[in-house]
Amino acid sequence: MGCPKEYSTKGGMGAALLSDPDKIEKILSTLVKGTRRPVTCKIRILPSLEDTLSLVKRIERTGIAAVAVHGRKREERPQHPVSCEAIRAIAETLSIPVIANGGSHDHIQEYLDIEDFRQATAASSVMVARAAMWNPSIFLKEGLRPLEEVMQKYIRYAVQYENHYTNTKYCLCQMLREQLESPQGRLLHAAQSSQEICEAFGLGAFYEEMTQELNARRAEFLARTPEAAGEPAEDTSGIIKMAVKFDRRAYSPQITPKMCLLEWCRREKLAQPVYDTVQRPLDRLFCSVVTVAEQKYQSTLWDKSKKLAEQAAAIVCLRSRGLPEGRLGEESPSLHKRKREAPDQDPGGPRAQEPAVPGKLCKKPFVALGSGEESPLEGW
């Protein structure tokens, strides 16, 4: 109940809950009764200390295990001073542990400051957010490490564990802060991949070396299954499988494997491809099976979106049949000519002139998304 951002408060969440003590009590009581796990909550302070203490007493009676307190009001931001006095008053009032929050910058700049902030608030412990983002080595008892050293180490971890470059970039920007306008900061701001981030910090050679190592590990792992080497393999269900993914950068502009497959089916007078896509509840990834001429094709690698999964399935079909898939240097000329030909010259017939029908979003955790009536242009 501490987030003051509009995307939370306009939905009645975050700090907006602080104005509805009845709802707070109902939520916390339900959680405490419904789980054996310790339940905690986090709040901001209210406009008056009296109201704040009244609220935390009511919260304590729900049976929660601890409460974290950000010592600022809902409308206040980091530039406003944190109220150590308010947190102390709460800690002295309650019998459950109180976790102090909001001390970054003004109070916490190195490891020893964490304990000083705890003592100033009489809290049982301290929650550190921004100071840890600025320099994670704040948790080292021997003191802060140079920022350049910390960023270099962080980048190496990010590449080694294949962290998405946008998250890596965000964290590095938080570390650079006022140095974002420096030459290195500008290079970081312009980076559009993990490789470009590494190059901005002089780690280009490390990126190449680690990429080769990761690819070798991946190849070794995939080689344990018959479909992994990129060769088609048919399992007991009759589905031809390969371990492939669709990378937009490897394909010609405006051309996709699904387009190539649809074009080939039309030329061969076959029914259009039918895609059946499911979403895995555990990690919300997608897998698609495409049926062409009564044969099913599937990639064994799960994708982050329905469209990417369908493109991967189309690639399996095209590769197993030895057909062009639209990769750079092998696009099918007919895909370009179709836009200029008259309707009676179009090998696809009138259907090629039909408008695209937007695909429907998957809202269920595990449900078939494709159907025989799906628009052939969906996902292009």
* Residues designated catalytic: 3
Torsion angle in degrees (nearest 10) through CA of 239, 322, 291, 375:
150
Q: Are 311 and 280 in contact (CB under 8 A)?
A: no
104 vs 130: CA distance, rounded Å: 6
What is each CA distance from 67 to 40, 126, 259, in whole angstroms? 6, 11, 56
Give residues with Cβ within 8 angstroms of 32, minimum separation 6: 39, 62, 63, 64
The amino acid sitting at 158 is A
159 vs 194: CA distance, rounded Å: 7
State phi, psi for 173 to the nearest 5 degrees.
Answer: -65, -35
Q: How many helices (H) and strands (E) does the chain have?
A: 14, 9
Give residues with Cβ within 8 angstroms of 215, minimum separation 6: none
Give me 210's structure tokens.
């680690």
Q: Are 359 and 379 in contact (CB under 8 A)?
A: yes
277 vs 369: CA distance, rounded Å: 5
87 vs 16: CA distance, rounded Å: 20
